[in-house]
Amino acid sequence: MGAEVLLYGYGIVCLSMLVFNVIYSLHLRADDRRTQKRVEVIQRQAEGQLEGLRADVHQPLQASHLAWMRRRLARISYLLAFDRFLDEQDTEEPAVREYLRQLQPVFLYLSTVYWKREDTQAAYYCHFLARHRLQRHMELDQVQRVVLSYLKKDSLYCRLNALKALCSFGSPEVLGDALEELSRDGGSQLHEKMVTEALLSYTGSAKALIELLWRRFERFSAQIQRAVLDYIRFQSGDYKPQMEEILRDGGRDKELRLAAIRYFGRYPDEGVRGVLLGFVRSGDALQWEYAAIAATALARYPGQDVVDALMGAMHSSNWYVRYNASASLEAHGLSYEGMMDILAGDDRYAREMLNYRLESRRLQRSAAAPREKEAVGV
């Protein structure tokens, strides 16, 4: 009897889930149809304005159209529809570009409207601004100042989307202000990788942005500083003296020094060779992170002293140090025969790591062989 009740209960649950999925699917389809109808409404309203601009690109938009757009786009359902409408436009067409430029007062108004809305709508509005990169079509000096205030909201998504929006159309000065704001009372919610990824989407001059961020570097929290250093690493090899200063400063935040090591792994510099070798040769178990990252960086530094240091690191008690050292030894072209001393030695950890790397390489070659044969038609 108990088993039958259990089966009936299970059947009812499955049936309920099926009914829910059907209803939800129908709801999504209906919602999509409603959104498409709103897209068509916007298209009818905008088409007349676009036709006028195609005839004369300097023709001003009608005041009634601007007022209509302010009213409609203040509703999230119409903002979603306008998002889809823009996807269907060639935003490089001069008429469309001028249309968007003349909508600047509308976007300024919407920025103040959505700032007062609940976090989900505010976050979506910032996403909309970032997604369409409207800075190509207009000057948004006033808008970016309003969007800057979105960083004070509690929502992680709102803060992140606001930062992405500012990276889309903000000036270096405003982005510097944004990172200072995040440093004051909200940076802890945004992982440095999120901040770095947002900065990498910046559409302006990376050189100008880096110069400003470096001037303000000490104003940022350690977390934001790490994001800035990672951004610089991906964008410029011109900051070796500044990075070396951080690298050699034992009083600096550990993650900042590790970021500096990664920088010199991307942009080798003989001036820090000795520092990197010192990290790898150190037997301090508490400093294993420095040794592990330095071992990776040394893959770009030729020389027998580097090979010897990496061979020594193969005997480290830390798995990551051994792994990175073995990878760098491969990068240096050390042959299987050249590593036989490790395999023949008494250090079980070193032998296991080397065997692991050699077996991984063998499996990679085995997996690549069929693809190579297929490519040549064998």
Q: Give the CA distances from residue 2 to residues 9, 13, 16, 307, in Å, rounded to whole numbers and listed in that order.
A: 11, 17, 21, 70
Instruction: Give the number of other Cβ atoms within 10 Å of residue 259's Cβ.
Output: 24
Structure tokens at 354: 């080397």
Q: What is the pLDDT of residue 260?
A: 98
Determine the number of helices (DSSP H) and then strands (DSSP E) in the chain.
20, 0
Cα radius of gyration (the chain):
29
Structure tokens at 132: 């369409």
Q: What is the pLDDT of residue 79?
A: 96
Running DSSP on this structure, what letter comes out for residue 193? Answer: H
Running DSSP on this structure, what letter comes out for residue 337? Answer: G
Which parts of the chain register pLDDT below 70?
Answer: 1-31, 134-140, 185-188, 335-346, 349, 357, 361, 368-378
Q: What is the pLDDT of residue 18?
A: 59
Q: Give the CA distances from residue 154 to residues 11, 116, 122, 219, in Å, rounded to whole numbers and listed in that order.
A: 43, 13, 11, 22
Q: What is the pLDDT of residue 157?
A: 92
Q: What is the pLDDT of residue 163?
A: 96
Amino acid at 176: G
Return the closest-CA partner of residue 200 out of 234, 243, 154: 234
Q: What is the pLDDT of residue 92?
A: 85
Q: What is the pLDDT of residue 374?
A: 53
Residue partners of 160: CB distance under 8 A and separation at least 6: 123, 190, 194, 198
